[in-house]
Structure 1
């Protein structure tokens, strides 16, 4: 009985087929770091103050500076408070100017953001400031927890249902919930979407390497892991440029979804691991696949190898 290493040497253990499948499986790692863009957008905390447009009903001609002076208290360092405002009153503007306001309250009508590095962020869209500032760290934790869970779930999944399905399904999930993230109307749906993106992220990162290495000979197997990490590093560099040019977090999600959609299409044409098929006793499927790989690599499979494949259960 031939082991799979012998079969690989007969059909080419690092031929054109292996190089194509390695490129196809590693390319998504160029895109996966882009999901860290969400975390970068979350961490942006721009200058802000409470929205105090209520006072414009009393004096519509107030300048922005005068409006702030009348409605927002100052901190000890002389800057305007980022989380407090004077309690709205139903007074004439002249009375407010003469007596001033003393009672403070939390922001009641949202915030006004100034000196924003990005056009739109998770912080500004969902007002993750002041009393809600602690959920910024929670959002990052949820994404990382998804990666951990995906790594744990799709390992056994690959053993039961194959390496092919364990790479295809995560990419489809990632595509769906990357778009969903960009469309999220509230922070709760955003977190749920990012959790599912994290699951897909973790599941694909593990199984793309497994599927690639099972088609590569022992002497070249390290190339699969190294190339995967290299693509990830290059993706981090591209991410920096993307964040520089794309300042809207929702637009960034849709831009990320485009290459993921491309991967989600061609990933269905990447074949199953013949090693896994043989372990599952699916020798006929494995034999057809081995012959196809040999043809791509321009190798001829000896009849003795094919006979041994038929005997493998």
Structure 2
């Protein structure tokens, strides 16, 4: 773990690290725009059967549209027009006595649907009539997208640890941009679903690779700062999504709008450095020296010689040449226990966060405003968590935010729907806490896994989290069985996963492990130097 000593010599948190963070902002802004895009492109506006083509021998010809609806479509118990049924024959008595039509023969919509809300000019539902018997398909696109994210996490986890962070970052940029734009031109639901899967596959490479790059270029004192900075870029993208969706209410241009910043990301990739920590762990000292000297030059520090580099960084030759796979996450006792627990926790964090984020209706506010508020509350939550993770540690923050998120969901189960102001406030607080848990677990994971398999570790945990994300839209569909069932599942899960997080070791003020032995050997993760401890306590 001598890399931290080398990094201190060339500048562990200077202009070089700040420029790197800025270069990775635009792709991180794109990610939430795609991850939560389904809130808008898959929205289902109010609708009813299309009765305009009906004629019945000219009997309906002299009726207004409202009268045609009255004699052709039954009512719900609450007096609203049914969305998916129409009478087999016109019921002209309804013009005199508008009953709900209970007991009268009805059938499914024969001539398509009329969409009654002008909020959207076009969504997936209106494009391909994904309503009534097909109403599950709009939400299914979200699950398919996150399945791509899940598979991408596995693939990029292996590739990044074996071929480097930088090249995999470029590949993920290109994949996400090509398939993201292509999905805007899909001519069928099946084609769109396949392209969304591929887009998710590319985007996950951006997430796990950019985050690791940032973390591996700073020392222990500044890991939390870099983590929160990257996480704030996510929140910025999340807030921008509400604005984009409000201004662009057609799903095809909206997809192109949120994908466009990846073009800038590809242009700026040429200035993104490889991780010197990864290069040294794989025996590539000359290339590592090149990037370290670039860092020293920009941070106005003395350049490091190859002799000093090789003398300082003590990684066994066998470790340098070894190729790592996901199996190494389970081969040794401590790492195996860590991997199993982290997988469970990541699943819980993701299913809770997205279970809340994908439910942006029912609080008496417009969906755009609700989404924006949900995104905006993440900013103070992240600033607060930045202070807390350096004061009370990662483990307590992760467990505490999950348990409190579950508590907020429980409170809203019992608050009457009429008190929508209170319900909104509690839901927004829960959303902020769930995002705080996500910010914490990202940092926590990079600190727990050693450099030689860190990307494999992030790939594995990202896989389990995306499994949770894929399940989240399906959990929300359970409200058809019992209105409160999704909230009960999310609440119990969040509290339970928070308790599981207490099984993890603390990493506050410890250096990043470089090899598997650093994790397995007692006391292998030595504390940071005293100066680093003082910097952390001062919040710098």
The DSSP-based 3-state class of the residue aligned with 2:260 is helix
Asked if 2 retains the 8 angstrom alpha-carbon contact of 1:174 and 1:197, the reply is yes
Which residues of 2 match residues 138-149 of structure 1 at below 5 A?
A: 138-149=140-151
Normalised by the size of structure 2, how large is the TM-score?
A: 0.51
For residues 108 and 84 of structure 2, the distance between their equivalents in structure 1, rounded to whole angstroms, comes to 6
Displacement of 1:159 in angstroms is 0.5
> CA offset at residue 164 of structure 1?
0.8
Q: CA deviation at 1:114?
A: 0.8
What is the 5 A alignment of 1:148-167?
A: 148-167=150-169
Residue in 2 aligned with 1:83? 84
User: Post-superposition shift, 1:104?
Assistant: 3.6
Aligned-partner Cα distance in 2 for 1:201–1:108: 40
Question: Is the Cα contact below 8 Å between 1:37 and 1:243 reproduced in 2?
Answer: no
1:70 and 1:137 map into 2 onto residues whose CA distance is 33
- Contact 2:30 / 2:259 at 8 angstroms: preserved in 1? no
- What are the equivalent positions in structure 2 for 1:164-243 lying under 5 Å apart? 164-243=166-245
Residue deviations 1:77-118, cap 9 Å, x none?
A: 4443311234589xxxx9xx9xxxx75432233211112322
1:254 maps to 2:259:
no
Equivalence for 2:15: 16
Q: Measured at CA, do residues 130 and 230 of structure 1 come closer, stay the same or move farther in structure 2, by a change above 3 Å?
A: same
Q: Is the 8 A contact 2:26 2:264 kept in 1?
A: no
| Whole-Å separation in 2 of the counterparts to 1:43 and 1:248 | 11
The 1:267–1:62 alpha-carbon spacing in structure 2 relative to 1, beyond 3 Å, is farther
Deviations 1:151-194 (A, max 9, x none): 23222221011011232222211111221221122222222222
SS in 1 for 2:24: helix
| Pair 1:4 & 2:6 matched | no
Contact 2:28 2:233 in 1 (8 A): yes
User: CA offsets, 1:15-35, max 9 Å, x none?
Assistant: 211110012124422221111
When residues 268 and 192 of structure 1 are mapped into structure 2, their CA distance, relative to the original with a 3 A threshold, is farther
Aligned-partner Cα distance in 2 for 1:17–1:7:
15
Is the Cα–Cα contact under 8 Å of residues 87 and 105 in structure 1 kept in the other structure?
yes
Question: Does residue 46 of structure 1 match 2:48?
Answer: no
Change (3 A) 1:57 1:300: farther
**C-alpha separation between the residues in 2 aligned to 1:214 and 1:281?**
16
> Against the structure 1 CA distance between its residues 180 and 61, is the aligned structure 2 distance closer, same or farther, given a 3 Å change threshold?
farther
Match of 1:63 in 2: 64
Q: What CA RMSD, in Å, does the superposition of the two structures yield over aligned residues?
A: 2.7
Q: Which residue is equivalent to 2:125?
A: 123
Displacement, 1:10?
A: 2.0
Kept in 2, the 8 Å contact 1:30–1:231? The answer is yes
Instruction: Please give the alpha-carbon distance, in whole angstroms, between the structure 2 residues aligned to 1:178 and 1:86.
Output: 42
| Match of residue 307 from structure 1 | 307
Write out per-residue CA displacement over residues 195-214 of structure 1, whole angstroms, 9 at most, x where no aligned residue: 22222232221221111111
CA distance in 2: counterparts of 1:65 and 1:26, whole angstroms: 52
Structure 2: distance between partners of 1:249 and 1:55? 30
Report the count of equivalent residues: 300
- Alpha-carbon distance between aligned partners in 1 of 2:292 and 2:254, rounded to the nearest angstrom: 41
Contact 1:24/1:267 (<8 A) preserved: yes
Unmatched segments (≥5 aa) in structure 2 = 96-103, 318-540
Higher relative contact order (CA 8 A, sep 6+): 1
Q: In 2, Cα distance between the equivalents of 1:271 and 1:61?
A: 73
Taking the aligned partners of 2:147 and 2:155, their CA distance within structure 1 comes to: 12
Instruction: Give the superposition deviation at 1:231.
Output: 1.5
Gap change, CA 1:298 and 1:87, over 3 Å in 2: same
Aligned-partner Cα distance in 2 for 1:61–1:184: 41
- Pairwise CA distance, 1:285: 1.8
Q: Take 2:144 and 2:219, find their aligned partners in 1: how far apart are those partners? A: 38
Highest CA radius of gyration, 1 or 2? 1
Separation (CA, whole Å) in 2 of partners of 1:115 and 1:14: 51
